[in-house]
Chain A
Amino acid sequence: MSGEHASMRIIDGYARGGADIAADEVWALEAHLEKCRVCRDRLSAAVMAQAGAAAAQAPAVAVRRPDVSALVDTVWSGLEPELAATGPMPRRRRWSARLSKWLTPTMVPWLAMVASVTLLALLLDMVDTGSGSGFGSGSGEVSLVLLLAPVLPVFGVAASWSRGLDPAYELTASVPRAGLHLVLRRTASVLVVVVPVLSLGGWATGVTAAQWLLPCLAFTSATLALGGVVGVNRAALALVTVWAGVIVAPTLATSRTTFALQTDGLPVWGLICALGIGVVIARKGAYSVLGAHR
């Protein structure tokens, strides 16, 4: 402790007015007091003790505290009206401060949209299976949830890191925390919203978790990988278009779950996912410059 804190000798001397300690010691002590709460407490105890001792020695004289504390009182009474006018700092809204480290306010409506679309798809699926009519009936049950699962996180990822949607994109790109780390943080928060909603949908419609989770992750990593090259906005748009053209349209036309979404297609999705992650890591510098946000 003595290695880190001021000795009692110096503190006592300082409380007496600092006349009997060397100037460099006063300087070092004051610099230390600014940073050290323990020593400030010890100093105030020393001041009080000396005032008490003085009062005991000469009870006739009114309790006279050292000049230092008189000075502190003067400064305090001068400051008080100003401090009262400023008003106390309101309590920080801890919740929102912590949340903003994971997602930006622009992402909230998009995530809400993703969640409500999933629930709507789930509702349609339930109605379909219940009544036995609609496009889902007939040969091979086509689950809308399954059909939408891969592209849902893409919207969230686009909202989290794009030039057009995020007003503070340029500021964010210029900060030290920008880059892969921040992108992954925001992507993770997108998945935290999307995956539970989808697992609810998957559980209700009875498709295995891997069937929707792998395409979902594959599309997320592909968006980021492609986004590092042409910009997340364009990447998201391209992937959604491809998905709608190649998978959704034929499926709805034939009312049959395509090969891509059956369990046989899973290794391919796994491969795309791994490939996407590899590209993202290899090109991680792309997320801290402006080009990647176009």
Chain B
Amino acid sequence: MTPAYSAADIAPTAYAWQIQATGLKVRAGRKRMAVDGLDLSLGTGVHGLLGPNGAGKTTLIRALATVLRPAEGTLELLGESVGGRGEHRALRRRIGYLPQEFGYYKRFTVREFIEYMAWLKEVPKADIPAAVQRAVERVGLADRADERMKALSGGMVRRVGIAQAIVNDPTILLLDEPTVGLDPAQRLRFRELLQELGTDTCVLVSTHLVEDVAAACTDVVLFAQGRLVFQGTPDELAAAGGPEHVGDSPLERGYSALLLRPEQERGTW
């Protein structure tokens, strides 16, 4: 009989962390170091990446998606060292990525676009229709799958973006501001999906919304000026704040306690 499992299913894991960065520096543009000496280890679970605007969140996620090369330091994804001139094809097959500016082709239907992305991600040809259907159902777009992308609302386009990111069943899933444009009900559904994905995937979600982190994340990464400020559970973040700090919820107070120290306050925003 043909075996019911493939060699990849039972291969031992050769890494301790899905994402491991040591002294990582990544350039944004020509001069500015957007990620400046970052030490970070992330395993299975949902990690919320929080930080003020311009903290370097997008640059960090791009580096993790291997579209930006690290300037200094080491970055290991799934045990493979990233950098140099390689194309990282095998590694990229196991990464799902939703960029902040999610661009798409308006003429494609939802199904065509996700099929196209599955082809680009080298999903085996025979598995594409099933993988696309599964991804579309997971984001709740099964009834709109054959409509053209230009007919979709902003929230639906965002969900197509999430569907294309998970179509290849990634081991590392990188979502840059996925909740922008989602209405409250869709956000709740999205948090459920995140929790579901986080059971066997390393999910990194960058967000501005502290309440997203509280609801869906097992782990919070606080990031400011290219450096790691805090890493821990949402409860630990809440514990960092006291009543004297600004904010409406314990998490927001914790966030302000760690980020808005008087000596760091430069502008009013």
Interface residues of A (CB under 8 A from B): 4-6, 28-29, 31-32, 34-36, 86, 89-90, 92-93, 96-97, 100-101, 104-106, 166-179, 182, 284-285, 288-291
Contact = CB atoms under 8 A, between A and B. Distances in A.
Interface string B61-97: 0100111110000000000000011111110110101
A86 B164 CA distance: 21
Given A175-B117, A290-B68, A291-B68, 9 more contacts: A6-B1, A170-B101, A171-B164, A175-B122, A176-B92, A176-B120, A179-B89, A285-B85, A289-B66
Q: Which of A4, A97, A104, A175 is the most central at the interface, judged by chain B CB atoms within 10 Å of its CB?
A: A175
Nearest to A6: B1
Task: Bin chain B's interface residue count.
Answer: 35 or more
A100 B116 contact: yes
Contact of B104 (A97, A168, A284): A168
B120 A97 contact: no
Contact of B67 (A86, A105, A174): A174
B103 A168 contact: yes
Contact of B112 (A4, A100, A169, A174): A100
A179 B101 CA distance: 21
Contact of A90 (B2, B86, B142, B146): B146
Given A32-B2, A90-B146, A176 B119 contact: no
A178 B120 contact: yes
B219 to A, nearest CB: 23
Contact of B105 (A31, A32, A105, A289): A105
B171 to A, nearest CB: 13
B7 interface: no
Nearest to A170: B99
Interface in B150-188: 164
Contacts of B93: 176
B115 interface: yes
Contacts of B90: 176
Interface of chain B: mostly helix, strand, loop or mixed? loop
B189 interface: no
Contacts of A179: 87, 89
A169 B103 contact: yes
Given A97-B112, A97-B115, A171-B164, A285 B87 contact: yes
Contacts of A101: 119
14 contacts: A31-B4, A35-B2, A89-B111, A100-B108, A104-B105, A170-B101, A171-B120, A171-B164, A174-B67, A176-B88, A179-B87, A285-B87, A288-B87, A290-B68
B121 interface: yes
B1 A289 contact: no
Contacts of A34: 4
Contacts of B4: 28, 31-32, 34-35
Contact of A106 (B85, B105, B111, B122): B105
Contacts of B86: 285
B65 A174 contact: yes
A96 B109 CA distance: 11
B146 A36 contact: no
A177 B120 contact: yes
Given A28-B1, A290-B62, A175 B120 contact: yes
B120 A172 contact: yes
A163 to B, nearest CB: 10
B122 to A, nearest CB: 5
A166 B121 contact: no
Contacts of A289: 66-69
A285 B106 CA distance: 29
